[in-house]
Amino acid sequence: MLNPSYVGRSLPTTEPVSITADSVTRFARALGLRDPAEPTDGSQAPPRPVPPTYLISLTLPAAERLIDDPDFGLDWSRVLHREQRFAYHRELRAGAVVSCEVTIESIKTVAGNDLLSLRTGVTDAEGLAAEVWTTLFVAAGEPS
């Protein structure tokens, strides 16, 4: 069972990370998409925006600190991804440097299982660029 006293807490902001053209390319290819960083006309046009779901590759690792916190009680082997939402306040492109701040929005217990809701703010030099909401289903452990 997750520790409900964590609701409202924010994890320390991650170190800035650069969104590289290579990481955008690999993400797009993994999804079977055309590389959004490659112009279609062969020109040297500026990189296109990252794919809409790209931020999961940054926000999920930002929340991994919860796994290492024994007081929180998260057993990753019991986690199922339930829901994901993205809100972009402006486009992010390869070359952007961003940081993530994860906030535990809620923990709800349903039939002995926990629903963990996280909100991650993604900021760049201009401020809040995007928000990502993640809901995880955490199955109850074996009864003692």
Domain count, the chain: 1
- Phi then psi for 73, rounded to 5 degrees? 85, 25
What is the structure's pLDDT at 144?
A: 47
CA torsion sign, 30 to 31 to 32 to 38? negative
The answer to whether residues 36 and 130 touch, using CB atoms and an 8 Å cutoff, is no
DSSP 54: T
Residue 117 vs residues 1, 41, 62, 66, 102: alpha-carbon distances, Å: 14, 42, 14, 13, 10
- The domain containing residue 95 runs over which residues? 4-20+49-138
Kind and range of the H or E element at 101?
A: strand 97-110
Number of other residues whose CB lies within 10 A of the CB of residue 100? 23
Domain membership flag for residue 11: yes
CATH number of the CATH domain containing 121: 3.10.129.10
pTM of the model: 0.86
Q: Within a domain: residue 14?
A: yes
42 part of a folded domain? no
27 in any annotated domain: no
For Cα atoms 75, 138, 65, give the angle at the middle one, nearest 5 degrees. Answer: 45
Confidence of residue 62 (pLDDT cuts 50, 70, 90): very high
- pLDDT tens column, 90-133: 999 999 999 999 999 999 999 999 999 999 999 999 999 999 99
| The total number of residues written for the chain in this structure | 144
**What CA–CA distance (Å, rounded) separates 2 from 138?**
9
Looking at the chain, the whole-number percentage of residues with pLDDT higher than 90 is 72
* Residue 40 counted as domain residue: no
User: Within a domain: residue 37?
Assistant: no
- Cβ(125)–Cβ(88) under 8 Å? no
As a whole-number percent, the residues of the chain with pLDDT over 70 amount to: 88
97 part of a folded domain: yes
Fill in the amino acid letter for 141.
G
Distance CA 27, CA 47 (A): 15
Domain-embedded: residue 41: no
pLDDT exceeds cutoff 90 at 39: no
